[in-house]
Structure 1
Amino acid sequence: MSSRINSMAIKHYSSTFLLLGSMASTAHLRASEPTLHNESHKEAILQSMVAEFALANGDTATALHNYTVLAIRSDSTAVKQHALNIAIEQNDLQAALDIARHWVLQEPKDVPAKFYLAHIALKSHEYELAAQTLDSILNLDSNADLENILAGISPETAQDRDSLLKTLNASKAKDNPSILILIAGLQAQSNQLELALKNVNKALRKRPKVTGFILLKANLLMALGDDEETLKWFERSSKKNKNNLEVRLAEARYLIKINQAEAALDKLAQITNVWPNADEALFIAGLTAIDLKKYDQAEQYLVGLRYSSQYQNEAYFYLAVNAERKQQEETAKAYYRLVDGNLYTVSRRNLISIYDRQGKLNDVLRFLTQERVNYPQHASFLYQAQAEILKRMGHDKAALRLLDEAVKNLPDDPELVYSQVLLLDPFQNRERLDKALKQLLQLEPNSPTYLNAYAYTLALQNRRLDEARRYAERALEFAPEQASILDTLGYITFLQNDFDRASQALGQAYALSPSVNIGVRYAKSLYMQGALEKFNQVLQQLQLNHPNDPQLNQLNSLILPEKH
């Protein structure tokens, strides 16, 4: 039974023991001046246990109530901090504010308590209280670093931004570098870029080496569109802060952004000489070298990331891309096989393309079968990839058999069922197709793709058109600007002789995707609607864009000969 306790519960139980331990040690240390009598101490322990078990069972209201009471009654800093953390985790800002207020009332000279209060007041949009608290912090310590208070504070509305700006500008804290940066950030959000830049410059005069301040100025210069000043600022900052990796990387990224890749690669070479194990620098340098067709240099950078915890898969992927660019296909295949994580599927697709170019599709089919054993979490993708290859080879029946096996192994995977749908013939496999489409809508009833597939299949079969129309209209609710769905709706309504709706839907589809198939359907609907002038316009456009398409012959036959 104990093995089934989930990790969240373990976290809560552990924090209970930590809390009880801190309470017990506090009581032991203050035994000579008993602030908590035995009975109240037992009650506190019981209250904390109830709170933690309530939290573990999702009863946040009970947990927060108990912790708020505990924090207000207790003089233990550990209890107050734990209660605050719980309130903040549960996003109950009012409870957090109550706890922080009482903490400051009990300990008016406790600077950490005031930091908590100022931060929570800002989050709660209690700006006057925040300003008063910031002032009181600076009265206690005029050089206090207020940056942590401001972390994650960003009013969402213009009204809240204006309110906070007024409060901060009226506060004694307004010349504190961290407050100047907050004011600058708010001004930047309100597009007051010049004012924001002035405040950042004031902050930098007091703290010229703070990375966040340096980068905010660079971002403001970029936002003002001043590339020359931005470059000068980065150059000066990098020289003055030679040991600041973040600033020097930001300069390189900016050079790439403004299409100065050669200069960026030079900067990155300097960075990697100083910081040979800086993964991000090696990665950016590798990609930049690939773009500049310096493939040997790219390989040197990326090989250094083969054991990186953050960039290993990316390194293997781009080493493969680099090898492909060098026309070293076997090397590329070897690297693609090593890729996992988010790049797994794209790496295998690239691998399949190489095998296809080499005329070795049977080899890749065997490889993908083994991949299903090695990477069972990607089984759905691998089955689909194999089915696509078999279809490309003209083995549709084998592809269907493989997908049958896949659906048996993964019965609730809609993508596999959809792959079956795409292979089934709407006339020869009518019943099986109907069953598969119904299964799709059971698995994902609101998928516009699956709704459209069912609607189009019924239209092809020219049956249950009212039902098909409902599916198409419902699909449009979820994807109103999708040409394929509008085309389906137009096709269905044309079959229903609703030519007004057909021409409207097909006109929208043709505007979004001017393919010959949609265009021909659109022209037919216009003809049946009697809009002959528009019909002729569409036909002329089709003849111009697709002069040799045989589908246009049928449309040409609809043109009435001129009377003499």
Structure 2
Amino acid sequence: MTPSVWHNLSKTARLSTSSFCHAKTKKQKKHTLKSSKKLVVILVCLALANGQAAHAKPSIFEPLLKILLPFYQGDKAKHENPPIDEPIPTKEVLETDEIPSVPDDGSDEDYTPAYTYTPNPSTNALIWELDWLAADDSQPVLDKPDLLQLLTAEFAADRNAPATALAIYKAESFKKDATPVFERALALSIRYESPKDSLAFASAWQKRNPEHTPAWFYVTHLAIKAGKYEQAAKTLAMILDYDPSADLTQIFTGIFPDEPDDQRALFIALRGVHSNNASVSVLRAGLLTRLGDHKAALLNINHALKLEPKNLAFINLKIDILKADHQTDAMWQFIKEKRKQLPHEQSLYLYEIRTLINQGDLAGAWQLLEQAIKNTHNPDVALLGGLVGLDLGKYKESIAILTPLTHNPELSSQAHYYLGIGYERLQDSSKARTHYEKVSDYDHVLDARKKVVAFYLLEERTDAAIATLVRLRDEYEAFAADSYILQAEIYLRQQNKQAAKDLLTAANQKYPDDDRLLFASYQLLEKELSDDEKQEVVNALLALDDQNPNYQLADAKLKLNKNASDQDTIDTITTISQLDIKNPYYSNALQLEALLLLAEHALSQGDYAMVIGYLQAPYNAAPNLQAGILLLQAYRELGDIDKTQQLINDLENRFAFGQKDEYTEQNY
């Protein structure tokens, strides 16, 4: 890029900055700022193009791969901005800005794009037709990428006009020193075009720029993705001739063909690649594993591990192959060997630890965790160690492990939560509450605040408990309904029914579409409502979600009270009582409530055997006072003295039954 061009670009950038500073309205500033950002992107792009080297070593491929491959993760991937990720246009947009496809004639060699781009005459740029496979002496009129054309392309991409953006970018990429323009064009092509189209473009550009080795990587990746395995093998051979030890791992990531025939075709194509490259051996091993040839897969992965014995991806692949081949003993022996060789690699510990946990061997997992925590100093390993220690009852040891994690920004909330559990089990309620109050992550904050409220209620500090709930809904609106429900329960425990009604009325007015809040309010205040009021609430619940069996059951209960012989209602309750455990609405409480309704109806009809059929199994699994009382009535009516006395003894032991008025409804 000549000095005069640089001068003009700098001047343009200064003008853009000035325009932003002098814009009077927010709308003008927003528009100017957006345009300036686009301009900066292009300025950087052209600056990179001007300084692009003719030859590139594999060591510099990483930044280029990040542009091309969305899944690529380099050493600094977590700290760098990801490549531009524009939204895929809707069908309507694509219909007005259609991208032609490559004719599927089995060949990419004679492919010429099916469209041309004519720049806006106002840009004073000359018109030229795309001809990616033109003769070497065919040169564009403009020697280097045109800034105004690239600006136009970027605006088109931003406005969901991908065909226009691609046409310009592809055209500009075939000029001199336009490697970054090519990379941007290819990124857009991968996003909006088929793998075959992207491969055709990348192949054509690579042929016009044979000295640019990163393009070989792009072509290899896209050829595999497009199912052009012979072309992939040919380009791969070129890469390996250039650098026999090139790291190809990321090129192969995420593009394994799904169909066995394609996997086999790719493996056959790779036979022609004569190389000792570790990545190629791993690719072959992965294909053979998918094809079920574990013995051959092991040969290839072992070869790769000889070249790179500390490569964790290779190690994990061998573990997977041994596991798939049911060589359990060999797998554990290999893991232990690698753990000794790589004592600071936490993933090898975690593989074995999680296996032991899944097998129920917590003691074995704890022993290995102690070693892993000492060797790896990894916070995730320490957190897992703290959890296993809590499960084993090693509360003091777990507290010692978890306490340092409270200074870890990512894990501090979880650490406080589990420290709260540890101190709670040590019956140190003061420290437990202190840690629970510091929990802030969404997965644990509701449970932690509930425990804080419980501690305050045990200390009869009702005002502090309510203040905790108010703070919960102020800080986490997602849990507002839970906080209102809990606060209403506190009022009801204090026999302050009016305060509970007022609170829940205000809450439902604030969140009129929250059916969970409305249903919880209904359950809490059900005894305080008239039948007409109950029906009104249930109708509102069904209007919000008529498929919810909880609301259907509430409606059925009201209907059954009005008409005990309504068979449709009985059928509805029966269906709810038989919900499959996989049903998203299933719960033990819902099923039991339905069975209790059926049992009460059967008792009223004198069908005592049916009462026992409904409730005996649920009572045996999880004794419930109301179920026990209904069973007791049924056995008494049947004259079964032994069962009656046995059940009375069980109810007395479990629920202190009979100390007041026997099995009256007030007792439950």
Q: TM-score range by the shorter chain?
A: 0.7 to 0.9
Match of 1:470 in 2: none
1:301 to 2:401 alignment: yes
Match of 2:414 in 1: 314
Match of 2:547 in 1: 448
**Structure 2 matches for 1:4-403, cutoff 5 A?**
14=37, 16-23=39-46, 26=49, 44-72=146-174, 75-89=177-191, 93-168=195-270, 170-172=271-273, 176-189=277-290, 192-259=293-360, 261-276=362-377, 278-342=378-442, 343-355=444-456, 360=461, 362-376=463-477, 378-391=479-492, 395-403=496-504
**Aligned equivalents of 1:167, 1:495: Cα separation in 2:** 75
1:405 to 2:475 alignment: no
**Aligned equivalents of 1:439, 1:541: Cα separation in 2:** 30
**Aligned equivalents of 2:212, 2:484: Cα separation in 1:** 63
Output the aligned Cα RMSD: 4.6
After superposition, the C-alpha distances for 1:398-433 in whole angstroms (9 at most, x for unaligned) are 333223323344445443334334445499456766
Match of 2:557 in 1: 460
| CA apart distance, 1:322 | 1.3
1:518 to 2:595 alignment: yes
8 A contact 2:172–2:178 mirrored in 1: no
Larger radius of gyration: 2
Q: Assess, with a 3 A threshold, how the Cα gap between structure 1 residues 429 and 155 changes in structure 2: closer, same or farther.
A: farther
Larger RCO: 1 or 2 (CA < 8 Å, sep 6+)? 2
| CA apart distance, 1:126 | 3.4
| CA apart distance, 1:133 | 2.3
Q: Assess, with a 3 A threshold, how the Cα gap between structure 1 residues 503 and 37 changes in structure 2: closer, same or farther.
A: closer
Q: Assess, with a 3 A threshold, how the Cα gap between structure 1 residues 412 and 318 changes in structure 2: closer, same or farther.
A: same
**Structure 2 matches for 1:412-451, cutoff 5 A?**
412-423=513-524, 425=526, 428=529, 448-449=547-548
8 A contact 1:16–1:52 mirrored in 2: no
| CA apart distance, 1:263 | 5.0
Name whichever of 341-350 and 83-92 sits farther off.
83-92
8 A contact 1:313–1:338 mirrored in 2: yes
After superposition, the C-alpha distances for 1:476-510 in whole angstroms (9 at most, x for unaligned) are xxxxxxxxxxxxxxx99996545996698368449
Name whichever of 115-124 and 255-264 sits farther off.
255-264
**Aligned equivalents of 1:77, 1:108: Cα separation in 2:** 12
Structure-2-length-normalised TM-score: 0.64
| CA apart distance, 1:155 | 3.4
Q: Assess, with a 3 A threshold, how the Cα gap between structure 1 residues 331 and 59 changes in structure 2: closer, same or farther.
A: farther
Q: Aligned to 2:150, what secondary structure does the other structure show?
A: helix
Q: Assess, with a 3 A threshold, how the Cα gap between structure 1 residues 151 and 437 changes in structure 2: closer, same or farther.
A: farther
| Higher helix content, 1 or 2 | 1
Contiguous gaps of at least 5 residues in structure 1:
464-490, 560-564
**Aligned equivalents of 2:171, 2:533: Cα separation in 1:** 64
**Aligned equivalents of 2:412, 2:287: Cα separation in 1:** 38
Match of 1:473 in 2: none
Q: Assess, with a 3 A threshold, how the Cα gap between structure 1 residues 499 and 153 changes in structure 2: closer, same or farther.
A: same
**Aligned equivalents of 1:171, 1:357: Cα separation in 2:** 76
After superposition, the C-alpha distances for 1:165-224 in whole angstroms (9 at most, x for unaligned) are 4444x3416753223323333444455544433332222122211111112222333445
Q: Percent identity?
A: 25
Structure-1-length-normalised TM-score: 0.74
**Aligned equivalents of 1:304, 1:4: Cα separation in 2:** 51
1:550 to 2:630 alignment: yes
8 A contact 2:416–2:439 mirrored in 1: yes
Matched letter for residue 131 of structure 1:
A
**Aligned equivalents of 1:29, 1:180: Cα separation in 2:** 32
Name whichever of 372-381 and 433-442 sits farther off.
433-442
Q: Aligned to 1:339, what secondary structure does the other structure show?
A: coil
Q: Aligned to 2:318, what secondary structure does the other structure show?
A: helix
| CA apart distance, 1:320 | 1.0
**Aligned equivalents of 2:29, 2:264: Cα separation in 1:** 48
Matched letter for residue 86 of structure 1:
L
Match of 2:575 in 1: 505
After superposition, the C-alpha distances for 1:9-41 in whole angstroms (9 at most, x for unaligned) are 9899645522334326646999xxx97655x76
**Aligned equivalents of 1:309, 1:522: Cα separation in 2:** 54
8 A contact 1:104–1:110 mirrored in 2: yes
Matched letter for residue 20 of structure 1:
L
| CA apart distance, 1:79 | 0.7
After superposition, the C-alpha distances for 1:60-106 in whole angstroms (9 at most, x for unaligned) are 44434443443355651111112222334557544533332222222
Q: Assess, with a 3 A threshold, how the Cα gap between structure 1 residues 425 and 282 changes in structure 2: closer, same or farther.
A: closer
After superposition, the C-alpha distances for 1:99-128 in whole angstroms (9 at most, x for unaligned) are 322222222343211111222233334333
**Aligned equivalents of 2:173, 2:531: Cα separation in 1:** 68
8 A contact 2:366–2:389 mirrored in 1: yes
